[in-house]
Structure 1
Amino acid sequence: MNRQVTGVADEKSVTSFRSDGGTGETRHRPWLKAAVLLAFLLATVGAGAFWWRSHSAPPIHYVTMPVTRGEVARAVTATGTVNPELTVIVGSYVSGVIQQLFCDYNTQVKAGQICAKIDPRPYQMTVNQAQAALDVAKAQLEKDKANLVYAKLTLDRTTALARRDFSTQDAADSAKNAYDQAQAQIGLDQATIEQREAELEAAQVNLGYTDITSPVEGTVVSRNVTQGQTVAASFQTPTLFLIATDLTKMQVDTNVSESDVGAVAEGNKATFTVDAFPSRVFEGTVTQLRQSPQSVQNVITFDAVVSVDNRDLSLKPGMTASARVVTERRSDVLRVPNQALRYLPGGIVPEGGTAATQAPTAGSGQALLWVLRDGRPAAVTVKVGLDDDSNTEIVEGDLHPGDLVIVGED
């Protein structure tokens, strides 16, 4: 009973709701329209914002570097080889077998010290032969002197007899001829003796050359022979040793290209590095610019000699050096990075001209810099001076140390 009543009541309620449904729809429909309209507006605003962001220019971030004071140095780079200032080649004047060696690499030698000895026996025999020939010539002289005395006595005797008519004139003339020949023989003997003395002296000199001696005081940097080796000096003097006179004074023989040689002069300061000490910079001075050109694969270079102090013996002969010769230097000048002179922002037209006309003009000394002031780029016309690979000197212009010059954009 209760269930039926309830069921009827529910049905009525539903029927009542349905009968009033028109009034319910009318009451909720304006809110639905407002929601749709709001969603449409939000989508439109979002699309517009997306379009504006995608088509608007992004903000420019400038890369800057400060204006500084310091040194600007123009330099010429070259490669070269480290060598002793004076290297003496010790060779052999005579041929023979190396009998003994007294010097080796790094041996400290004095002038006149024997470094090697060639077998002297063949040359000693030549000396002995020359000495014997000299002795024969001297003995011949003594013999001919005695003959001259006898010829003089014969001449005097024959002449006296001829005056008294005890001898013929022909006999007197014959005695005179014998005497003259005896005198001439004495002169010939003396000349022969001088010749034999010269031959003996030459043989003794060659014997002396079997002792290979150092002509200077220094250090042996190269030895090209071994004991028992045969050296032949018939056509060319063989090199036995290389001796450096003083390893505390070295030089770098740099190869300067012909396009840079005009800027290099004696007295220029130079720096260089070697592979053995990559973090150490050696300092030297150009002491000689040799006029003799060197051609390697049709490339002409000139030898600029850089002298350097090597008291600690760090530099070794033959090291490869990368040198930098300073040809011009300015100290304590206002300078800017070279990138700043090449920068020109697109679309910015300086006051009184165009971007193209305000660009630096080669050879005029005038250039345009962009300085960041109050967050905006400002064009500054300057007069430039000396430049190197990194910085350029500013001679005139509205710039001060600490100003930020623009070198690029992010």
Structure 2
Amino acid sequence: MKKIILLFLFLGLSLTSCDDEFLDPTKPTEEDVFSSRSGLIGAANGLQSKWSVGRQSPVYTIITGSGFTTNEFRLLNAGNADEAELLAGGVSVSSKNALINNLWSQSLVINAEAQKVLDKIDIITVPAEKASVFVHASIYKALAIGTLVQFFEQVPLETMKNATFSSRAEVIAATIATLKSTEPYLATANGFSGLVGNIKYKNTVNALLARFYLMAGDNDNALLYANLVDLTSKSTFLYDAISNNPIANVAILTPNNYQPIDRTFGLPAALAPTSSDGRVNFYITPGSNPTTGAGFFDSNSKLIPLYLPGEIMLIKAEAYARKNQLPEAILELNKVLTKTAAADAFGVGANLLPYTGTVNQTSILTEIYRNRCIELYMSGLKLEDSKRFNRPNTERNRDWYPYPDSERFNNPNTPADPAN
């Protein structure tokens, strides 16, 4: 992370979907950043820093927001007013909430900056470099818009004054199209010296395509791309002593923010993990009482995965179940249930017996949801999962977040806030 060149940070001052910019004369101009090979590489590296580092980053706001909204966390200090609002949920969540504002503004900035890199990609002439930067920027563009639509009913896809808002279906389609646009480059997108090297581009694109096709309800394509993912390959956000893991730094390692709610992972009794489930002691410090977080979040330098092998297995299980191909769904589900820590690229293992429940679509989908909540704990995906599986409203305190004031006051096309 020390090598990341944050040439584009001045652009972060434009926090809404409009095109107003306030330039600092001591920093490089937009023309400087996007008119050279080194500038484009620096901007591409900066996308990862902006996405993953700091309390304002989407990594922090996604995991924190989803976690409080779906009962994954307990708050240690009500003085953390923004987290307290998300924990209370309902009408308590205001359009002034800083976490929601950061999730919105940072994601819009990343979407805009990624698109500028893509628009100028022909400046880079070495094929492997061009391919790697194109795929790198596309991944962050897809993450930005694809994440926003999990938390907000509608999202602006363009960065312009008075931008119009697009529906969930349109945003997911745009996310998929962004990822699909990388396919001509994947064979040569192997990274190079100077570009952050912790993302395996082909596997990450295929994993994200599987994720977003599943959200779109396209089970056939979700299966197609999930089957292309090498489950031994790892893609991560990098952290070190300077660029800290934001969940560890801001929450888990501090005495006054939040921790895992308990060993139930915030699930109702019928879905809570058993005491023999190895994933409990992976995500929660063994013997801690009250519970403290572990897993990917108990050190400032712990790496956070972009996706887990278990997510890919569960995508396949869910897609088969929704197609009513129940034997195939159970086969994939059992891969997660019986997986040991030693057999998993990140050490996440349930080490349980195979599924012995009722063999019908409803029961199997419920078991898949249960395992997504446990296997992917603190991933930021639970709010989306809770809605997609039509879980009771009592298991989440909101469906959608209100639009930030920074958007509403600058864009007359901002939709009405959702009731819940």
What TM bracket, shorter-length normalisation?
Answer: under 0.3
Compare CA radii of gyration and give the structure with the larger one: 1
Higher relative contact order (CA 8 A, sep 6+): 1
Q: Going by fraction, where is helix more abundant, 1 or 2?
A: 2
Task: Name the TM-score, length of structure 2 as normaliser.
Answer: 0.16
Task: Name the TM-score, length of structure 1 as normaliser.
Answer: 0.16
Q: Going by fraction, where is strand more abundant, 1 or 2?
A: 1
